Amino acid sequence: MTRRRVGALLAVLLALLCCASVGAAEKHHKTKGPPVLAKSWALVDGRTGEVLTSHAGEERRLIASATKLMTAYVAMKDLPLSKIVKARPYEYEYGESVMGLRAGQKVSVEDLLYGLILLSAGDAANTLAIDSAGSVKRFVAEMNRHAAALGLTNTHYANPVGLDQKGNYSSALDLATLTQELEKIPAFAKIADAREKTLKSLHPPRKIKTINELLKMAPWATGVKTGHTWKAGYVLVGSGEKRGIELISVVIDAPTDETRFSDSLELLEWGFRQYHRKKALHKGQELASPSIRYSGGELPLVAGHSLKVGLRADQQVEVQVDAPGTVAGPIRRGARLGTATVSVDGLRAGSVPLVASRRVPAAGAFDKVRGFIGEHPVPLAIAACAILLLAMLLGRSVRRIRRGKRVQKK
C-alpha cells in the first residue's frame, strides 16, 4: 500500500472518529452552553420546564443531600408549618451536617425545614420523616410514590437524608422538575431564598446561615440546595430570577466545592442572556371598545400600565382580552372594566387591567327611551302595530254601536 493511500485511509478514519464524537456530544447537549466541569448538568426555564441546555441530564447518579428536596416536598404536604414536634434520636455520620438537636427537644416543622435546606441538616430530615409517616421506611416509600406521580422516571430514594446507599439516585433533569414543583409552594420558595434565619421555636432562639454560596454570589439568586458525599461529588441545585425570567440549574458531581457554585453561576448567567425583554403591552394601548348603552357610541378600554415579558427569539406572545361588550354610565375615567392577559408560548406571563379612556355620564331619561327603542326595534314595531290594530278595531266597534243607536231612535 502506497503512502498516499495510507494517508487517505487515516484521514477517512480520523473524519469518522470526529463525526462519532460530535454525534455523542449532540446526544448529551440540547443546545450550546457555557463550559461546565460537573459530570452531569442541566438548565431549565423555571416557568415552563423547558430544557435550555443539558449534559447527561437523564443519567442516574448519586445526588447526596439534594435528596432532601423530596424530603421537604413530602413533609410540607403532610405536616403544618406551625406544628411543634419532638426531635427524634439520630446517629449521624462523621462530617455530616446537623442542627445539633437533642432527642425530645421541641421544634416547629417550619424551623426544621429551614435547618433542612439552609444547613442540610440530617437530624432535621430524620425528625421530619418520622413525624410525617411514623417511620423512616414508610416515609421513603412515600417519597418514591411522589417521585412516580411527578414523572421522575430516573429517580429513586432509599433514605430521606441523601447518604450514599444503593437505590438512592436521581438525574439532573429530574431534580430540575422537582425543584420547579417546590418553587410553586410560596413557603418553600421563601425558605430556599433565605440567607439566614432565626429559629424562634428553639429555646433559646438560634440564628443559622445558609451554606449555599450561590445566594451570596448574585443578588438575583433564589436558592436552592447543596449536596456532597465522597461518592456523589459536589452537587448543587440552583435557581435565579431576573426581570421576570426564572431559571433552575443543576450540577452533579462537580470536582470541587468551588466549581459547583461557579458552574451554577455560569449556567444561570448564560441562560439569562438567551432572553430579551419585550414590551408586550403599552400603557394607553386600546384593546377593547364596548358599546355604550342608551347614549350610543363606544368606550375605548386601554391598558392601565405597560407589561414587559422575557422571551427567546423562537417564542410567541399572545394577548387575551376579557372585557364587557356593553357598558352603561356613569363611568369615571380610569375605572377598571376588564383584563388583558399576556401568554408566552401558551403559558401565562402576566396581566394588566383595562381601564376606561374617558368619562361616561349617566344616561338621561330621553337617552334611556331612545336607547330602549334602539335596542328593541322589532318588538316595539310589533307592539305599535298591535296597538294600531286594536285602536282600529275599537274605532270600528264604536262606530257600529253609534249607528245602532241612531237606527233605534228612528
Going 110 to 147 to 244 to 287, the CA torsion angle's sign is negative
Residues with Cβ < 8 Å from 253, sequence gap 6 or more? 38, 39, 40, 61, 62, 232, 233, 234, 235
Rg (CA), the chain: 35
Active-site hit among 54, 97, 108, 120 = 120
Q: Has 120 been annotated as catalytic? A: yes
DSSP state of 119: I
Cα distance between residue 262 and residue 34, in whole Å: 11
The C-alpha angle 354, 359, 361, rounded to 5 degrees, equals: 130
Q: Is 397 a catalytic residue?
A: no
> Among the options 40, 54, 68, 171, which is catalytic?
68
Q: Give catalytic status of residue 135 as yes or no.
A: no
Q: Where are the alpha helices (DSSP H) in 308-376?
A: 365-375
Q: State how far Cα 395 lies from the chain centre.
A: 76
Note whether 287 and 65 are within 8 A (CB).
no
Residues present in the chain in total: 410
Residue of 65, 132, 239, 295 marked active site: 65
- The helix/strand/coil state of 342 is strand
Residue 218 near residue 193 (C-beta atoms within 8 A)? no
Q: Give Cα 60 to chain centroid, integer Å.
A: 26
Q: Active-site residue numbers?
A: 65, 68, 120
